[in-house]
Amino acid sequence: MKAILTAIMILAISQTVIFAQSGTLSGKISDAISGDPVVAADVVLIKGGFAFTSAKTDASGKYEFTKIVSGTFDLKVTHKNYKTFTKSSITLNSNQSTKLDFVLEPKAVTTVVITEPESKEETITVSDCNRSYEKVKCTGGIAYSPAGTGYYAAPDDAGYVDFNTEDYDKINENVFKEVLNDPLSTFSVDVDRAAYSNVRRFLNQNTIPHKDVVRIEEMINYFDYEYPQPKDEHPFSVNTEMHDCPWNPEHELVMIGIQGEELQSESIPACNLTFLIDVSGSMDSPEKLPLLKQAFKVLVENLRPQDRVAIVVYAGAAGCVLESTPGTKKETILASLNQLQAGGSTAGGAGINLAYKIAMENFVKGGNNRVILATDGDFNIGASSNAEMVSLIEEKRKSGVFLTILGFGMGNYKDSRMEQISNAGNGNYAYIDNILEAKKMFGKELWGTLYTIAKDVKIQIEFNPAQVKAYRLIGYENRLLNKEDFNNDKKDAGEIGAGHTVTALYELIPSDSKEDVNNIDPLEYQTTNVKSSGNLMTVKLRYKEPDADSSKLIACRYKRDDIKKSKISENFKLAASVASFGMLLRDSENKGTATYEATLAMAKDAKGEDKYGYREEYIKLVEIAELLKK
Indicate whether 95 pLDDT > 60: yes
- Asked whether residue 408 falls in the same domain as residue 460, the answer is no
Per-residue confidence band for 140, with pLDDT thresholds at 50, 70 and 90? very low
Segment 175-199 mean pLDDT: 93
Co-location of 379 and 257 in the same domain:
no
pLDDT at 163: 40
pLDDT above 60: residue 159 = no
Same domain, 487 and 419: no
For 269-288, what is each residue's pLDDT tens digit? 999 999 999 988 888 888 99
Among the candidates 75, 104, 133, a domain finishes at 104
pLDDT tens for each residue of 383-416: 555 577 778 788 888 888 988 999 998 877 888 8
Lowest mean pLDDT among 163-172, 177-186, 204-213: 163-172
Pair type for strands 501-510 and 117-125: unpaired
For residues 273 and 383, membership in a common domain is answered with yes
Q: Is residue 296's pLDDT more than 60?
A: yes
Per DSSP, the three-state class of 559 is strand
* Closest by CA position to 602, among listed 245, 258, 250: 245
CATH of the domain at 351: 3.40.50.410
- What pTM did the predictor assign? 0.75
Both 501 and 364 in one domain: the answer is: no
Q: Which of 192-201, 373-382, 448-457, 468-477 has the lowest mean pLDDT?
A: 373-382
Q: Which of 9-23, 93-107, 501-515 has the lowest mean pLDDT?
A: 9-23
For residues 312 and 398, membership in a common domain is answered with yes
| Residue 436: pLDDT band with limits 50, 70, 90 | very high
The pLDDT, as a whole number, for residue 346 is 63
Nearest to 508 by CA among 458, 554, 564, 457: 564
CB 141 within 8 A of CB 104: no
Separation CA 205–CA 433 (nearest Å): 11
Mean pLDDT of 44-51: 72
| Alpha-carbon span 454 to 439, nearest angstrom | 24
pLDDT (tens digit, 9 = 90+) per residue, 345-374? 666 678 888 999 999 999 999 899 999 999
Residue 382 has pLDDT above 60, yes or no: no
Q: What is the mean pLDDT of residues 218-247?
A: 95
Domain edge (last residue) among 450, 466, 496: 450
Res 67 pLDDT > 90? no
Domain shared by 485 and 510, yes or no: yes
| Same domain, yes or no: 241 and 320 | no
Judgement on whether residues 303 and 367 belong to the same structural domain of the protein: yes
Alpha-carbon span 229 to 323, nearest angstrom? 38
Is residue 159, in this structure, part of any structural domain at all?
no
Q: How confident is the model at residue 1 (pLDDT cuts 50, 70, 90)?
A: very low
Check whether 6 has a pLDDT greater than 60: no
Ranking 320-329, 414-423, 471-480 by mean pLDDT, the lowest is 414-423
Q: What residues make up the domain containing 545?
A: 177-192+207-263+453-518+529-629
Contact between 209 and 585 under an 8 Å Cβ cutoff? The reply is yes
Instruction: Provide the greatest CA pair distance for the chain.
Output: 95
Question: Quick check: 311 and 332 in contact, CB under 8 A?
Answer: no
Q: Is residue 426 part of a domain?
A: yes
Residues linked to residue 322 through DSSP beta bridges, in sequence order? 311
Mean pLDDT score, 186-202:
93
Pick the more confident residue, 373 or 44: 373
Q: What is d(CA 216, CA 585) in angstroms, rounded to the nearest whole number?
A: 10
Same-domain check for residues 250 and 292? no
Higher pLDDT, 44 or 617: 617
Mean pLDDT for all residues in the chain: 83
Q: Is 126 a member of any domain?
A: no
Does residue 145 carry a pLDDT above 70?
no
User: Per mean pLDDT, which range of 94-98, 242-246, 601-605, 607-611 is the poorest?
Assistant: 94-98
Distances (CA, A) of 328 to 307, 309, 331: 8, 10, 9
Of the candidates 458, 447, 452, 472, the residue with the CA atom closest to the CA atom of residue 591? 472
- Distance between CA atoms of 498 and 264, rounded to whole angstroms? 9
Is 70 exceeded by the pLDDT of residue 142? no
State which of 450, 485, 503 marks the end of a domain: 450
pLDDT at position 281: 83
Chain segment 199-220, per-residue pLDDT in tens: 999 999 999 999 999 999 999 9
Does position 437 have pLDDT exceeding 50, yes or no? yes
Contact 97, 146 (CB under 8 A): no
Distance CA 455, CA 551 (A): 9
User: Domain count of the chain?
Assistant: 3
Same domain, 184 and 280: no
- Beta-bridged to residue 102, according to DSSP, are 29
From residue 286, alpha-carbon distances to 77, 204, 291, 607 in Å are 21, 16, 6, 33
CATH of the domain at 606: 2.60.40.1230
Are residues 353 and 240 both part of a single domain?
A: no
- Residue 258 and residue 253: Cα distance in Å, rounded? 17
